[in-house]
A and B are shown apart, each in its own frame.
Chain A
Amino acid sequence: MKAIKTGLSLLMLAGLTIVASQTAFAAEAAMMKLEISDGPAIKSIKKSLTGKTGDPAKGENMMANRKKGNCFACHVISSLAKKAAKNPKKYSDMGDIGPPLDGVAGRYTEGELRALLVNAKLAFPDTIMPGFYRTKGFTRVKGKFKGKTVLKAQEVEDILSLLVTFK
């Protein structure tokens, strides 16, 4: 927990950088004011990145989609894995690089989970997990991905709205 604590306190700085770097996405940037506050335990991003709530059904698609969240590349989610028999292309082949996400809502608050999705490195500096909502500090990004976040703000919220149900 210690690592997460110090990591997420850095997020305050990162939040500002993210806002500043989003000028290309003016519309989104206007909506996005990352208000970071000291929670009782650890820092978190408490407010929705878009001001709207997410759609868990869309979030599920984002988690499966290889070109989007592709969370299944590294995480097992038992409740979703059960659907593999019906739709193997989408739900099977969950990887085991990260911890299973079962019960993750019991381990983190919504704000903490949002912060993890935005940039997991702030909590786990050496992690392999990509930061899904940042645009700065990268090396040699391929042309069409330059200056872009992996997920759009609302897509992060969609995934989050599903994650918080994993109790």
Chain B
Amino acid sequence: MIRKTPELAERSNMRQLFKMVLAGCLAGSLMTGAAMAAADGKSEAVTPTSKDHPLEEIWSGYHFAKKGTKETQDNEFDNPGNLWLEQGMELWSKVDGDEKKSCQSCHNDAAKSMKGVGTRYPIFFPPWKKLINLEQRINLCRTKQMKAKAYKWKSNELLGLTIFVSRQSLGMPAAVVLDDKTKPFWEKGKAHYYKRRGQLDMSCAHCHQANYGKKIRSNTLTQGQANGFPTYRLKWGKPGSIQRRFKGCNKQVRAKPYKMGSDEYVNLEHYVRWRGQGLPIETPSVRP
């Protein structure tokens, strides 16, 4: 059966943490700090709020990364993803398209108007009668509101803007909506997640639920969480979208991937983000 319980290693980590808290308590110091620090999936696991959540503990990919990678992510000057963040910031106010508008023309201050957006997407979008994810929303604003060209999925522009918009939710807990409208799409994403695929015949759950924390050759498996996307991946040498990651994971098991922005992947994104409920938005994260 697919394992529900956390890694033994994680357990001992937790025990370690617990001991530290206890020690702090006994010493009568540090207590408030340790007890009040919110679970963030980085140093402490997040507990799922949804009933029937498949994981007992939710961990960000950050938790499994090497020390140096973590430091690169945390350091404002070292994080290479910040180059794209800056580019996104510039694009936010850049006029483009036949309507001679920028994002700012409609949304003003991103720090206010875009706050929380990165925690919610993909959302149900009535005109499409299906889900829309953040990259698609940005491109829709361009084509409909600005009468400008849609950006390509792997373009620096789309990555930059997606990072910039998500960044306005930095540290906020991931919280996609699961309700009557989104449920049918969530169900499809879930089915995708548990389906064995490709010649190697593995599902997402085989790697990211049953075996997270373990090593598969030279990689340490994480829970495959989405809270850091678009992520700066050292292997890619640039940031990539969650949909690009899905393609890579499909290909790893010798399965035919879907197109970025396909219904399959947008539904999968919704489901994967639901699995990461409560994790802090970390965009742009740095991952091996």
Contacts and interface: CB of A to CB of B under 8 A. Distances in A.
B50 interface: no
Contacts of A140: 197-198, 250, 255-256
Contacts of A126: 1-2, 210
A147 B226 CA distance: 33
A97 B214 contact: yes
A27 interface: no
A121 B196 CA distance: 12
B207 A128 contact: yes
A80 to B, nearest CB: 14
Interface string A83-124: 000000000011111000000000000000000000001000
A138 B198 contact: yes
Interface range on chain A (Cβ under 8 Å from partner): 20 to 34
Interface stretch (B85-93, B131-139, B155-163, B215-223): B215-223
Contacts of B201: 121, 130-131, 137-138
Contacts of A73: 216-217
Interface string A65-83: 0100010111000000000
B202 interface: yes
B200 interface: yes
Nearest to B1: A126
A62 to B, nearest CB: 15
Contact of B217 (A66, A130, A145, A150): A66
Contacts of A128: 202, 206-207, 210-211
Contact of B199 (A70, A94, A97, A138): A138
A73 to B, nearest CB: 4
B198 to A, nearest CB: 6
Contacts of A150: 199-200
B195 A97 contact: no
Interface residues of B, number: 26
B4 interface: no
A49 B203 CA distance: 28
B254 interface: yes
Given A139-B255, A140-B256, A141-B255, A93 B199 contact: no
Interface string B246-257: 000011001111
A142 interface: yes
Interface in B217-273: 217-218, 221, 250-251, 254-257
A40 interface: no
B268 to A, nearest CB: 13
A27 B36 CA distance: 69
B12 to A, nearest CB: 15
Nearest to A149: B199
A130 B199 CA distance: 8
Contact of A97 (B2, B200, B211): B211
B202 A145 contact: no
Given A139-B196, A140-B197, A96 B215 contact: yes
A73 B207 CA distance: 12
A142 B255 contact: yes
Nearest to B195: A139
A82 B278 CA distance: 43
A130 B217 CA distance: 15
B61 to A, nearest CB: 18
Interface in B142-183: none
A142 B254 contact: yes
Interface string B62-75: 00000000000000
Nearest to A134: B201
Interface of A: 66, 70, 72-74, 93-97, 121, 126, 128, 130-131, 137-143, 145, 148, 150
Closest 8 pairs between A and B when the two form their complex, measured CB to CB: A93-B218, A128-B206, A73-B217, A145-B199, A95-B215, A130-B200, A145-B254, A140-B256
Given A126-B210, A130-B200, A140-B256, 5 more contacts: A70-B217, A93-B217, A95-B215, A139-B197, A145-B199
19 contacts: A74-B216, A93-B215, A96-B215, A97-B216, A126-B1, A128-B210, A130-B202, A138-B197, A138-B199, A139-B197, A139-B198, A140-B197, A140-B198, A141-B199, A141-B255, A142-B198, A142-B254, A142-B256, A150-B200
